[in-house]
Structure formats: C-alpha cells, structure tokens
Amino acid sequence: MHTPTILDKIIAHKRQEVAARRDLVPAKKLEQSIYMDSQPLSLRRYLLREDLSGIIAEFKRKSPSKGFINPHAPVERTTLGYMQAGASALSVLTDTEFFGGKNDDLTTARRYNFCPILRKDFTVDEYQILEAKSIGADAILLIAAVLTGEEVLRLGRFAKSLGLEVLLEIHNAEELDKTLHPDAVTLVGVNNRNLHDFSVSLDTSGELAQRIPDEFVKVTESGLQTAADIEALRAVGYRGFLMGETFMRHSRPEKACAALVQQLRATEAITLL
C-alpha cells in the first residue's frame, strides 16, 4: 500500500491550482507576454562554463519540511547578489502554497539578471510550461517521482518547442530508467533528499553519477553545504550544484553564496599550484 508523501500532496493541490489558474488566465493571454518572443538562455551552457562556479543559487522562502527559512529576503537584492557572487544560474521557487513563492518573484529576478533562470515548481501540465515562458524562465523542472515516462516525454518536448531547457529530477535509478528521454531532457538532477523521511545523503548523487549518460549535464540537489561537497561531486562528473537552504537561512543569502564561491576559488587555486 502506497503511503502518500508530501510530494503526492503537493501534486494533488497543484492539479487543482492549475485548473483554477487556467480559468483565470487563459493560455491565449499567456501567449501575449513580452517574454514569449525572447530567446531563452541556456542553463546547460552556463553550467559548462569554466569561468563560473556551477552553482545554481536558489531563492526559496520556505519548505514543507523546514517551514519558513527566510520570509523577508528581497528578490532583487538576493538574486542580483547571487550572480555578482559568481553563481552560474538562478532557481526561483514559484509555488505559493508550500514554498511561499510566486510568479512575480521569477519575473522580478528576470528583470534584474542576465543569466539562466530555472522555474522551480511542480509541473504536471503544458499550461505551466507556457506560464514559465511567459514569466521569463529559461528552464523548467520535471520531477520523475510524479510523472510517467510518457508524461516526461510529452511535457519535455513541449518545453523544448518553446526554447526552454528541461531539468529532470530523479531520486533513484528506477526513476532514471523510466523517464530519461534524450529528445525531451537536457539536464539530469539528482535530489539527495529522501521523499519519505526527508533525510539527506550526498551518497545518492555519488551512486547515481555513473548511471547518467554523459550527454546530459549532471546536477546535484539538496544537502550541499561546503566547497568540499562541491569538489567531491564535481570529481565524479557533476557540473551543476543547486543550493537553496544553505544560503537562504542566512540573513543575507547572497553574502553566504559569495563566501562559498570564494572558498571554491581558493581550493581551485591550490589545486593548480
């Protein structure tokens, strides 16, 4: 018997939310956005740049497991500060019910930053992908734990038709095997958080690294804290490091990001000696 996880609850709520939003703002209205004709930036390309850190710095006010983390951080200062600190890209939570985010957070970040922005939400419908493009996102997240292989293929192809890249999030090898479609997915993210007990282990990324084909940029998510964590996972093939709580629990998240990037650069400089 399947015990519902918090992710199951989020998805059930998300389906209702999407239906209500579609009634409120029809797809034709979304298509009138100024961002529909713009060329998205490539998250893949920015993560592979040698002059950047590989960090995807996340703006997140709260989470279901931790409650409020930082409800007062301003979007403009935080996201601009992340990029000035040397992050490669941004991730912005737009889910309201469980994460305290909103679409305006991403649009504000877009206005202040020239870098790839991942819309972090729970995508179950093409409408949300159209919405992501309309608010200025460059990439979307598809979560293998709540989608079938056919759904990942359909949603991923639709995202690519709009010029958006797709980060497929997996938790284990089974999810990877059932949902990885080369023509629908650009990047694969390994979430180190166990959905059932919220425990976090970076070993998850270590164990799955070799199972992800090299054609996909590998991203590791959750539990990253130090420069040493990043270096260890970079050594096994990861090029993207999604970090949110580590920064957001500080009163000035962008300064925490800057300190970590400095540590990384110092480590790299020592390695080159």
Q: In the prediction, which pLDDT does 66 show?
A: 85
Report the C-alpha gap between 72 and 49 in whole angstroms: 32
161 noted as active-site residue: no
Tell me the C-alpha to C-alpha distance, in Å, between residue 58 and each of 15, 93, 201, 226.
24, 8, 19, 16
DSSP string covering 127-167, please? Answer: HHHHHHHHTT-SEEEEEGGGS-HHHHHHHHHHHHHTT-EEE
Catalytic option among 53, 70, 88, 191:
191
Structural domain includes residue 73: yes
Q: How confident is the model at residue 263 (pLDDT cuts 50, 70, 90)?
A: very high
The count of domains in the chain is 1
Q: In the prediction, which pLDDT does 96 show?
A: 96
Q: Span 101-105, mean pLDDT?
A: 98
Structural domain includes residue 262: yes
pLDDT for 3 beyond 70: no
Catalytic option among 14, 53, 62, 120:
120
Structural domain includes residue 41: yes
Of 60-74, 98-112, 225-239, which gets the smallest average pLDDT? Answer: 60-74
Catalytic option among 169, 175, 245, 254:
169
Catalytic option among 14, 53, 58, 205:
58
Structural domain includes residue 257: yes
103 noted as active-site residue: no
Q: In the prediction, which pLDDT does 273 show?
A: 52
Q: Give the type of residue at 7.
A: L
What is the share, in percent, of the chain residues with pLDDT greater than 90?
90
Structural domain containing residue 107: 6-272
Q: Span 13-26, mean pLDDT?
A: 97
70 noted as active-site residue: no
Catalytic option among 175, 221, 245, 254:
221
Q: How confident is the model at residue 70 (pLDDT cuts 50, 70, 90)?
A: very high
Nearest to 38 by CA among 140, 160, 165, 133: 133
What are phi and psi for residue 187, nearest 5 degrees?
Answer: -130, 150
Structural domain includes residue 72: yes
Q: In the prediction, which pLDDT does 150 show?
A: 97
Cα dihedral 129→130→135→140 (10° resolution): 20
Q: Span 131-148, mean pLDDT?
A: 97
Structural domain includes residue 1: no
Q: Span 52-73, mean pLDDT?
A: 94
The CATH code of the domain that includes 99 is 3.20.20.70
Structural domain includes residue 134: yes
Q: Span 128-145, mean pLDDT?
A: 98
Q: In the prediction, which pLDDT does 196 show?
A: 76
Catalytic option among 60, 62, 133, 218:
60
Q: Span 87-100, mean pLDDT?
A: 97
151 noted as active-site residue: no
221 noted as active-site residue: yes
pLDDT for 177 beyond 60: yes
Over residues 180-211, the pLDDT tens digits come to 999 999 999 999 998 777 889 999 999 999 99
pLDDT for 272 beyond 60: no
Structural domain includes residue 240: yes
Q: Span 39-50, mean pLDDT?
A: 97
Report the C-alpha gap between 31 and 36 in whole angstroms: 6
